[in-house]
Structure 1
Amino acid sequence: MHRPLLAAALVVAAVLLTGCASGDDWSKPRPRPSAVGELGAGFVDRAGTPAPESTVTPSPGSWSGVRPSAGTRVVLLAAGHDRTTKALVKAVRGWAKDEAVDLRTVTATDAADLVPAITRALDMSPDLVISAGNDLIDPLATVSPSHLDQEFLVVGAELAEPTENVTAVDWSGASFRGEGLGMSSTYDPASFTDARCAAAVRAGAAAVLTGHTGIVVWLDTF
């Protein structure tokens, strides 16, 4: 090989190797992410921390001052191809892009893959797992209590009896709870607008980042 061609090949190889090694390996230990900014007035009662499994109704926009630190590792755990799940997935990806979140996606292929998909997400040791899709609710209720060191955020649904590591964002038009309880009588797919889903992701992430976990963030006043 001619020297100029050899030199060019070596440069390309070096760039490729550098790209593969830069920031892609989640196995390396690092400090836990932190919240950048503070919650606004009206997100929670400042007089006390919300009780586990309680519901808070934050003032619109009271979460907008909180962002994840750059590089926060998040797994988007998705199941289903319905309109509502697609809207939630879009919202999570938009939030991750805006906030420089290191986002990876795990998608359950069918009913038999729901628990294995959760396991794949857990094996990645992310800072946060965000769940999108009603089909994941019952499997999450089974798996999450055994992994209390892993934070979960459920958007557009909630677990009937969540542990302290599962936070949910819900509203009247969503509110699916699983465990044979059926769909809420107020369920409305049209309520999963781009704006509401985006707000739900941001409000839920803000709750988790500021330590308000194991609660339901209710966005009916959005």
Structure 2
Amino acid sequence: MSRRPRTLVAVVVGAAVAGALAVGVAVARGSDDWSGPHVTPTARGTLAADFVLPSGTPSPEATITPAPGSWDGVHPSAQLRVVLLTTSEDDRPATTVADAVRDWAHDEDVSLRTVVADGPTDRLPAVLRATALHPDLVISAGDDLVDPLAQVTPSHLDQQFLVVGAELAEPTENVTAADWSGASFRGEGLGTSSAYDAATFTPARCRAAVQAGVASVLSGLTGIVVSLDDAT
């Protein structure tokens, strides 16, 4: 599959920037107001050896299937700044993922802000609003955000993204996905996979995907797909 020309990405993104940054963006949780100096948090703990099998560090865009619980030993250091990017549409899978992100953030004492795309015309601006906050990590919930992310992420390589319950067709090294066979939407006109099953978006699986995906990013394993087919 041919890659999208970067000049087109720049034109599309540039046209949306001014309006996107003028809109209110987020609700803060936690004691960190994001206004002061910030040291990028690191991982506390390490991944188990069977998180990546069988050959160690995966190649870019590779899919790994970690052993159940192999990510449990990794936690963010204090005040990780995270933006939850989601939509206002009535989308039960996206809502379940978003709830899992909020629960994880509460349990890990993460500083969380939320950016909501208010309808189809606000999806690309919402991605831009999320990146404008310069968090340590943007976590995306919802298939409708996959194509807007594909437009923005190649021009924001210094920003880490985690897509939960979906993936980008051609991710750059700053985009990690955590999904499973029932949650494999890839956007870019590829349609919904025949294996897609909204019923697989259970609270437990979504929470595991958030934890495994974040652990992968914090451990420096980015630009890959973390598949939970055998992990939950």
TM above 0.5: yes
Cα offset, 1:31, TM superposition? 1.3
Q: Distance in 2 between matches of 1:137 and 1:163?
A: 13
TM-score when normalising by structure 1: 0.88
State the partner residue of 2:134: 125
**1:48 aligned onto 2:59:** no
Gaps of 5+ in 2: 1-29
Q: Can you list the C-alpha shifts for 1:153-198, whole angstroms capped at 9, x where unaligned?
A: 0000000000000000111111000000000101101100011000
Q: Percent identity?
A: 65
- 1:69 aligned partner, one-letter code: S
Q: Distance in 2 between matches of 1:26 and 1:110?
A: 27
What SS is found at the alignment partner of 2:205?
helix
State the partner residue of 2:155: 146
Q: Can you list the C-alpha shifts for 1:112-137, whole angstroms capped at 9, x where unaligned?
A: 10111011111111000000000000
State the partner residue of 2:213: 204
Cα offset, 1:49, TM superposition? 1.4
Q: Distance in 1 between matches of 2:38 and 2:187?
A: 35
State the partner residue of 1:180: 189
- 2:58 aligned partner, one-letter code: P
Q: 2:86 aligns with which of 51, 56, 78?
A: 78
Q: 2:66 aligns with which of 35, 58, 68?
A: 58
Q: Distance in 2 between matches of 1:28 and 1:146?
A: 26
**1:26 aligned onto 2:34:** yes
CA RMSD of aligned residues (A): 1.3
Gaps of 5+ in 1: 1-21
Runs ≥4 residues deviating over 2 A: 22-25, 45-48
**1:67 aligned onto 2:75:** yes
Q: Distance in 2 between matches of 1:90 and 1:23?
A: 20
Q: 2:46 aligns with which of 21, 38, 44?
A: 38
Alpha carbons 1:26, 1:125 under 8 Å: kept? no
Q: Distance in 2 between matches of 1:93 and 1:81?
A: 18
| Equivalences for residues 96-135 of structure 1 within 5 A | 96-135=105-144
Q: Can you list the C-alpha shifts for 1:60-82, whole angstroms capped at 9, x where unaligned?
A: 10001100111100000002321
Alpha carbons 2:83, 2:115 under 8 Å: kept? yes
| Structure whose alpha-carbon radius of gyration is higher | 1
- 2:83 aligned partner, one-letter code: V
How many residues are treated as equivalent by the alignment? 201
Deviates more, 1:200-209 or 1:114-123: 114-123
What SS is found at the alignment partner of 2:71?
coil
What SS is found at the alignment partner of 1:75?
strand
Q: Distance in 1 between matches of 2:37 and 2:52?
A: 32
Q: Distance in 1 between matches of 2:165 and 2:41?
A: 24
Q: 1:171 aligns with which of 154, 175, 180?
A: 180
Alpha carbons 1:37, 1:66 under 8 Å: kept? yes
Cα offset, 1:48, TM superposition? 3.2
What SS is found at the alignment partner of 1:71?
coil
Q: Distance in 2 between matches of 1:91 and 1:45?
A: 26
Q: Can you list the C-alpha shifts for 1:76-118, whole angstroms capped at 9, x where unaligned?
A: 0002321101100110000000000000000000111011101
